[in-house]
Amino acid sequence: MAGFFSPDSKLYRFMCRLTDVVKLNLLWILCSLPIVTVGAATIAASAMSLKIADGQEGYIGRDFFKAFRDNLKQGIPMTFITAVCVWAVWLDFQMFSAVEENSLMFLITGIIAAYVFTFALLYVYPLLARYENTVLNSLKNSFRISMKYFLRSLLLVIILAFEAAVMLWTRETMILLVLAGPAFMNLTVCSFASIIFRELEKIPGAVPDKDISDGAEQ
């Protein structure tokens, strides 16, 4: 029995990771309460998730708050950008449902907007957490990475949708959403992003603070 709880056992490492995710989720919720700081909190959570994905040890609380403070300047604009993107897609589909004539235009616009915004936002928070860059360039690079690694990115979107569906399935599963949902989904994104970033970093001129469109192929 002692072997199961030794620091080298898989069970011990799993429980440590689970504890880290729960802590990270609580910190994210706490720092997101002012609403305008959701972006900064997500960048900080991404910084911690990238460390977890890379197998690096650290202090979740201390490192999270440092990353949160360091990314307030970029995080606050990202809060509004993300909110506007979500609102724009929601509005298009609402107009499609409400308008009887020429409603197809709103459907097409909504689908295109959802496609562009999803892939532009998919890796932007890990990019801001890992690299020094402007918000605009990070959004561009997120979209470029998504297109270059399209199949992986599409798989990531499907996995995220599945995770959200599972956690929203019943009232019981929604407890998972409260305890660890956002942090777990963020860790999923960062696990994909970490692999892609390491591949890009091996290629001269393909690091995400430059134009990566001529970098690694899928």
Using alpha carbons, list the distances in angstroms from residue 183 to 101, 142, 163, 173, 178: 42, 20, 12, 15, 10
pLDDT tens profile 71-119: 999 999 999 999 999 999 999 888 888 877 767 888 899 999 999 999 9
pLDDT value at 173 more than 90:
no
Taking the domains of the chain in order of start, what are their residue ranges? Answer: 2-201
90/2 Cα distance (integer angstroms):
53
Give the pTM. Answer: 0.87
Tens digits of residue pLDDT in 190-207: 999 999 999 998 876 665
pLDDT digits (tens, 9 = 90+) for 11-29: 667 777 888 888 999 999 9
